[in-house]
Structure 1
Amino acid sequence: MGIKERKEKHKEDLRQRILDAAKELFLKDGYDATSIRKIAEKIEFSPTTIYLYYKDKTDIMYALHQEGFKLLGTQFLVLQHVHEPFERLKAMGRVYMSFALSNPDFYELMFIMKEPIEFVKNHCHDEEWEEGEQAFTALINTVEHCKAAGYFVQFDTTTFALNIWSLMHGLCGLKLQGHLDHMASTKISLPDNVNLMEQTFDGFISMLEKLK
């Protein structure tokens, strides 16, 4: 590895350290309580160093937002080989659910905290938020393909896609915030080997099948 390559690797490694430290602090202390100085202290660099990479903490938050959507988009991408559209729609639901449970930190930054989407609304045009647009477009395209196959033809595509996303987000949010498990332990009698989230998802799929 040459000098130029080593310098680039050092820059990328430091950039990732900044993002990782910021993500931890945003989720632990909240966006407002996190400062560039605190992020710098966590990685043991000066604030000036961070400003070489990001202009402010909103820029860092947006970079994390993009990183999360890139990860989700990569996981959606592997579903392109699922040609039957309704099966692909079900698989997208499972991938989304798995992403939320495997990456709760990213999920909170992407879909629960308000600061990243406020940045998008105030500073980005659609073409500048490619990762987020691609994720929702993948869902809309799959609903379109379902309609072309004769499913859900009585529904508006975008509205139906938003309803699906809203229900999946609600399920994931309830699980991540502990409400689903609390309900399972106090209000619902389930056998030990039954996963309430899986059962709820299966019930959602059964509703979709009835709408076909």
Structure 2
Amino acid sequence: MPRMGLQERRTEQRREQRQALRERILDVSREIVKREGFASLSMRKLAEAIDYSPAALYLHFRSRGEIARALRMEGHARLRETFLAYTTIADPAARLNAMARAYVEFGLTEPETYRLMFMEPAGLAETAADAGDSTAEPGAATLLLIADAFVELRAADRLPPHAAPTACAEGLWANLHGIVALKLNSASLPETPVATLVELSLDAWFAPANRTEPRGTEPRSNSANRPDTSTR
């Protein structure tokens, strides 16, 4: 293998230094967002925190919005990695239950990251996105993992006939987002355990398609299709 020349070594060192500074910018930005929220992040505050000039930051990120996009992409990647860990669960209902609880746990343990991902104006984090860039929809790959489980439920005749897997995945995601948003923004809500809220969100998907109950009676439990989801 040929030895690297002096000019090549210098080029490589500069590349490594630029990458190290970029990572440092993101690390400090992430900490500011987690501690104070995205609204508190500014290029000037960030420059002061890492002891660099604002001009140096602009060599790596053209705006606060580009930093938001990078942090948002990181958050989606972490959420997808969490979901991937559950794809080995054979039963699709049990897999959905695990993913649903992991989603809510992610939102409640990293509230400011979650707000940046799902509750800040979309344009804030899209300033660096090209119209044709597939990463412009970072949640699509995660949604597909949810939809795959619904496809398996449909194949096993465990969904109502009219329920399209993709629509079911979007509906479940909307339910889970509602749980997280209410917990984050409504301190006055009754302290219903999160596991119970997730269980109620999943009940509709696993109920028999044509079940009817006499008026005034309690619905029957369909525990055969769901794992035990007692509060941890």
* TM-score of the aligned structures, taking structure 1 as reference length: 0.78
How far is the alpha carbon of 1:30 from its aligned partner? 4.7
Question: Against the structure 1 CA distance between its residues 116 and 139, is the aligned structure 2 distance closer, same or farther, given a 3 Å change threshold?
Answer: farther
Mapping 1:15-54, distance limit 5 Å: 15-25=22-32, 28=36, 30-31=38-39, 34-54=41-61
Letter in 1 for 2:180: C
Q: Is the aligned partner of 1:204 residue 2:201?
A: yes
The residue identity in structure 1 corresponding to 2:181 is G
Q: Of the two, which has the highest radius of gyration?
A: 2
Matches within 5 A, 1:122-133: 123-125=130-132, 127-129=134-136, 131-133=138-140
Greater mean deviation of Cα atoms: 154-163 or 3-12? 3-12
Aligned CA RMSD, in angstroms, stands at 2.9
Aligned residues: 199
Query: 1:98-113 maps to which residues of 2 (within 5 A)?
Result: 98-113=105-120
- Measured after TM superposition, the shift of residue 18 of structure 1 is 1.4
1: distance between equivalents of 2:11 and 2:98?
A: 43
Q: Any idea what SS the aligned residue of 2:189 has?
A: helix
Residue 118 of structure 1 and its aligned partner are, at CA, apart by 6.1
Deviates more, 1:36-45 or 1:160-169: 36-45
2:222 alignment partner in structure 1: none
Q: In structure 2, how many angstroms separate the alpha carbons of the residues matched to 1:134 and 1:94?
A: 18
Q: Which runs of 5+ in 2 are unaligned?
A: 1-8, 210-232
Provide TM-score, normalisation by structure 2.
0.72
**2:177 — aligned with what?**
169
The Cα shift of 1:109 comes to: 0.9
Instruction: State which of 58, 70, 85 in structure 1 corresponds to 2:65.
Output: 58
The one-letter amino acid of 2:85's match is V
User: Secondary structure of 2:177's match?
Assistant: helix
User: Distance in 2 between the 1:101 and 1:29 partners?
Assistant: 14
For the structure 1 residues 121 and 51, does the alpha-carbon distance in structure 2 shift closer, same or farther, using more than 3 Å as the test? Answer: closer
The CA distance in 1 between the partners of 2:153 and 2:124, in whole Å, is 29
Partner of 1:119: 126
Q: Retained in 1: the 8 A contact 2:65–2:125?
A: no
The structure with the greater share of residues assigned to helix is: 1
Matched, 1:77 2:84: yes
Question: Structure with the greater relative contact order (CA < 8 A, sep ≥ 6): 1 or 2?
Answer: 2
Percent identical pairs in the alignment equals 27
CA distance in 1, matches of 2:92, 2:51: 50
2: CA distance, partners of 1:23 / 1:72: 16
Between 127-136 and 64-73, report the one with greater CA deviation: 127-136
Give the distance between the partners of 1:91 and 1:20, measured in 2 at CA.
Answer: 29
The code of the aligned residue for 1:107 comes to Y
Unmatched tracts of structure 1, length 5 or more: 186-194
Contact 1:126 1:133 in 2 (8 A): no
Asked whether the 8 Å contact 2:33–2:112 carries over to 1, the reply is no
Q: Kindly provide the CA deviation profile for residues 144-166 of structure 1, in whole angstroms up to 9, marking residues without a partner as x.
A: 12211212232122222111011
- 1:88-124: per-residue Cα shift (whole Å, max 9, x none)? 1111101111211222221111111114576179744
Pick the aligned partner of 2:164 from 106, 131, 156: 156
Counting only pairs closer than 5 Å after superposition, residues 182-201 of structure 1 correspond to structure 2 as 182-184=188-190, 196-201=193-198
Distance 1:36 1:64 in 2: 15
